[in-house]
Amino acid sequence: MTERIVVVGAALLDAGRLLAARRSAPPELAGRWELPGGKVEQGEAPEAALVRELREELGVDAETMERVPGEWPLRPPYVLQVWTARLRPGSAAPEPLQDHDALRWLTHAEIWDVDWLDQDVPAVRETLPKLDAGTRAR
């Protein structure tokens, strides 16, 4: 049986907005927007991988909140799993340090203004109710 490799993506939420990151590479993905994240390493917990990826890619100190239900196939052997996440107190604001050349905090009304990677679209759709919940809480 072929191993599956989990790619974790973060629905990073703040004040009812979701962070979208524009990929700068590879050429076939450049210019498309994604939930930031990356591959889980062998022996690594997915939540730990996500915190690591967010530190590496965006320079932030984040924590995961909950798993977004579902799992979405990428190019084999990769599958995408998504967690909601938030910045920890005292974290720097996200910056596009690696893999990305632009970031946007999107309100619910703006969610479909960016050209999401096809494979991220169902995951983004699943996170929308959580975004609204976050908005109401403030």
**Secondary structure (DSSP) of 16-81:** TEEEEEEE--STTTTT-EE--EEEPPTT--HHHHHHHHHHHHH---EEEEEEEEEEEE-STTEEEE
**Minimum CB separation from ligand CDP for residue 137, in Å?**
25
Q: Given the rule CB under 6 A, which of 11-19, 88-96, 112-120, 126-134 is the region that contacts ligand CDP?
A: 112-120
Contacts of 73 (CB under 8 A, 6+ apart): 79, 80, 119
**Contact range with ligand CDP by CB under 6 A, out of 62-70, 100-108, 114-122, 128-136:** 114-122
96 three-state secondary structure: coil
Residue in 48, 52, 55, 78 binding ligand CDP, rule: CB under 6 A = 78
Nearer Cβ to ligand CDP (44/138): 44
The minimum distance between CB 121 and ligand CDP, in angstroms, equals 10
State the first-to-last Cα distance of the chain, in angstroms, to the nearest integer: 47
Which residues contribute to the site for ligand CDP (CB under 6 A)? Answer: 7, 9, 29, 34-35, 37-39, 74, 78, 80, 99, 117, 119-120
